[in-house]
Chain A
């Protein structure tokens, strides 16, 4: 596609539920990034991939968060046993060379 596609656009989860957020990057983009953005704040780095290799996961807030990109294209961010503090917008970005990201529109997660 022409841009980075994220789904679902909105997700409401009950506390304790597992969720999976999907990112379709721009075809051919080697690097893929996940960010978490709380209301009124800038994006906070979660993790990034180069092809299928997860090179940095230092931003994942707990072991409830897991990301994968098994074939070096589509990526999934999974959050287990969601908690209210997980409520945020989750942004995915891809880049051909780390010199400028193309972001998706994000998934707004609300944990109730």
Chain B
């Protein structure tokens, strides 16, 4: 079974709106990472949040981490059509990262 699970599986919004996707995990972590994957391409690392951090920002991205609930959220503000992609959370365990099945985000122009 997957360590990380993203929710929702699919999300469709209008350009300019905010998109929020969530990740739940099962075991204790040192850090949690979010990745983006455009169709037919490899994954691109977006942001890493450490277990002692509660919130982190990078441009239009905001990530939160709640270790007590074993969950994280990724917020994309002022979405653009180019944000259309699948988003994955990953949690490194014993040197390797485990990915969920992702949230597929569609931003309509």
A residues engaging B (CB < 8 A)? Answer: 4, 31, 33, 35, 40-45, 48, 50, 55-56, 91, 93, 98-106
Contacts and interface: CB of A to CB of B under 8 A. Distances in A.
Contact of B95 (A55, A91, A106): A55
Contact of A42 (B2, B33, B44): B2
8 contacts: A33-B96, A41-B102, A42-B2, A42-B100, A93-B43, A98-B92, A103-B44, A106-B41
B96 A56 contact: yes
Contacts of A40: 101
Closest 5 CB pairs of A and B: A103-B42, A42-B99, A103-B43, A42-B101, A100-B45
B94 A56 contact: yes
The secondary structure that dominates the B interface is strand
Contacts of B94: 56
Nearest to A50: B95
A36 to B, nearest CB: 11
B95 A98 contact: yes
Given A42-B2, A42-B99, A45-B97, A102 B92 contact: no
Nearest to B48: A100
Given A42-B101, A48-B95, A105 B42 contact: yes
A14 B100 CA distance: 30
Contacts of A41: 101-102
Nearest to B104: A40
Given A103-B44, A105-B41, A31 B95 contact: yes
Nearest to B45: A100
B25 interface: no
Contacts of B45: 100-102
Interface in B64-109: 88, 92, 94-102
